[in-house]
Amino acid sequence: MKILKTTDLLKNHNDICLVPTMGALHDGHISLIHKAKETGLKIVVSIFVNKLQFNDEQDFVNYPRDIEKDIKILNDLDVDFAFIPDEETIYPKSGFENLYSGNVGNKYEGSSRPGHFDGVLTIVNRLFQLIRPHTVIFGSKDIQQLFFIKKLITFKLGLGALERNTIFFECFFNWSTASIAFGLRATPLCITPHKSITKVSYSLNISAKWFSSLNLLVLSF
């Protein structure tokens, strides 16, 4: 496994499956990585604790970080690349785009976490720009986050007509990283051992130049 601080080495790859994380890897992430391996693509796991999605500075400071343990997990899983950028790479002085989640971002979970979904959209967009993945994998632990990620893909990448966006719904033990951060007991929200509940295929017409196709894989309940 190569550990990358920048994406220079990834420039010529159009075969990347990206699993974005904020580290503190647990069983949920590991199930995403196993799914990534099934794609046969090169696997990039990004680890970046994105301060923009923390509305409380103290939560950001207290967020669990154990990079050595994470690297060992990724090594054992035989991931191709661990992308562990520093802040300058993610938030450059120029060319940096802040995204806004609008009204929906202030509702539901967002009502108690002002700015959270702006921060999520901003970082996911930045990771897409840097890595240009062929496939991205997200857990569905946060339905509202997923809603925004789908919107981002549709809007930013011009996926007006979804053609080949394949979504897998699978059983996924939802160990909440936030629970670990705040010292609560992580709770598996899903205990039904379905393998593949359903699979939906759409059409995809991608105008973004680096995406000849993009798959969004969602592991869920």
| Residues catalogued as catalytic | 29
How many residues are recorded in the chain?
221
In angstroms, what is the minimal distance from the CB of 35 to ligand PAF? 15
CA distances to 54, 89, 94, 180 from 133, in Å: 25, 17, 23, 29
According to CB under 6 A, which residues from 145 to 174 bind ligand PAF?
A: 145
Give me the amino acid identity at 22.
Answer: M
Among 18, 22, 131, 152, contact with ligand PAF (rule: CB under 6 A): 22
- Given a contact cutoff of 8 angstroms between Cβ atoms, the answer to whether 39 and 17 are in contact is yes
Residue span 33-72 as binding mask against ligand PAF, x where in contact by CB under 6 A, dash where not: -----------------x--x-------------------
Among 124, 137, 153, 171, contact with ligand PAF (rule: CB under 6 A): 124
Closest among 210, 204, 211, 176 to 190, alpha carbons compared? 176
- Residue 32 interacts with ligand PAF (CB under 6 A)? no
- Residue 123 interacts with ligand PAF (CB under 6 A)? yes
In angstroms, what is the minimal distance from the CB of 141 to ligand PAF? 7
Q: Give the Cα separation of 190 and 38 in Å (integer).
A: 22
- Residue 20 interacts with ligand PAF (CB under 6 A)? yes
Question: How many Cα neighbours within 13 Å face the side chain of 120?
Answer: 24
3-state secondary structure of 217: strand
- Residue 136 interacts with ligand PAF (CB under 6 A)? no
Q: Give the Cα separation of 156 and 97 in Å (integer).
A: 12
- Residue 82 interacts with ligand PAF (CB under 6 A)? no
In angstroms, what is the minimal distance from the CB of 159 to ligand PAF? 18
Q: Give the Cα separation of 45 and 75 in Å (integer).
A: 11
Binding site for ligand PAF (CB under 6 A): 20-22, 50, 53, 120, 123-124, 145
